[in-house]
Amino acid sequence: MALRIHEAWILLFIIPALVTPAAINHEDYPADEGDQTSSNDNLIFDDYRGKGCVDDSGFVYKLGERFFPGHSNCPCVCTEDGPVCDQPECPKIHPKCTKVEHNGCCPECKEVKNFCEYHGKNYKILEEFKPSPCEWCRCEPSNEVHCVVADCAVPECVNPVYEPEQCCPVCKNGPNCFAGTTIIPAGIEVKVDDCHICHCHNGDWWKPAQCSKRECQGKQAL
């Protein structure tokens, strides 16, 4: 019994010596990910976190360097926590801007429409026009239309008329006023019936005529 135990110990020391490195199957021991080599030509990029910063084109910048991440970005400083970028207050874009470029830190207006729009029509800058007989307008450089409306004087008659292309009414028959329902010219006394003679107030054409009663001709005839 003692002899068998001694032979078993000898076999334990001899068997490992007979196993060569070539007999070990490497598939049974997968290598770490860092030790694996690529079987194709794919590039493996370094990890620059905490060491530098990379822009949109793949350029690497050292810690503390100032750079632009992309053509339309604001400037940044490379830090261990990543890029720290400027955030400026960009000027407001004109509401009538028709072309905006984003090629820098702030958007820029490259083209503002060079005309004014008024009641569905377009006018050139500094162009003057009359949308109606009583309005005079101009297209300002700010693309806004400024207008002046004519202030008509009170007509000197009770039956003014509007002529084509004229803003203010005109008294074609001169100044006049009402004597009852009859229109009489100003400046003279008018006998409106057998008993009354009327005349218009001087300057107050909108007031009824001032009339005086005379002896009626019909009574004289009796």
The closest of 98, 119, 117 to 108, measured between CA atoms, is 98
d(CA 123, CA 143): 9
Residue 26 lies in a domain: no
Do 137 and 99 belong together in one domain?
Answer: no
According to the model, what pLDDT value does residue 48 have? 63
Residue 208 lies in a domain: yes
Residue 180 lies in a domain: yes
Residue 175 lies in a domain: yes
What is each CA distance from 173 to 154, 159, 161, 176, 199, in whole angstroms? 15, 9, 10, 8, 16
According to the model, what pLDDT value does residue 138 have? 95
CATH assignment of the domain containing 137: 2.10.70
Q: How many CB atoms lie within 10 A of CB 200?
A: 27
Place of tokens 């207050």: 89
According to the model, what pLDDT value does residue 126 have? 92
Q: Residue 187's domain spans which residues?
A: 154-215
Do 181 and 145 belong together in one domain?
Answer: no
Count of domains for the chain: 3
DSSP state of 159: S
Residue 24 lies in a domain: no
Do 178 and 206 belong together in one domain?
Answer: yes
Residue 158 lies in a domain: yes
Do 69 and 88 belong together in one domain?
Answer: yes
Radius of gyration (Cα) for the chain, nearest Å?
Answer: 52
Say if strands 52-54 and 60-62 run parallel, antiparallel, or are unpaired: antiparallel
Residue 90 lies in a domain: yes
Do 65 and 100 belong together in one domain?
Answer: yes
Walk along the chain (222 residues) and give the pLDDT tens digit of each residue: 444 444 444 444 444 444 444 444 444 444 444 444 444 444 344 566 667 888 888 888 888 888 888 776 788 899 888 888 888 888 888 777 878 887 778 888 887 778 888 988 999 999 999 988 888 999 998 888 999 988 888 888 999 998 887 888 999 888 999 998 889 999 888 988 888 899 998 877 778 899 988 777 655 443
Do 159 and 128 belong together in one domain?
Answer: no
According to the model, what pLDDT value does residue 176 have? 92
Do 159 and 210 belong together in one domain?
Answer: yes
Given a contact cutoff of 8 angstroms between Cβ atoms, the answer to whether 153 and 169 are in contact is no
According to the model, what pLDDT value does residue 24 have? 42
Do 184 and 159 belong together in one domain?
Answer: yes
**Beta-carbon contacts of residue 121 (< 8 Å; ≥ 6 apart):** none
Residue 19 lies in a domain: no
Element (H, E) at 81: none
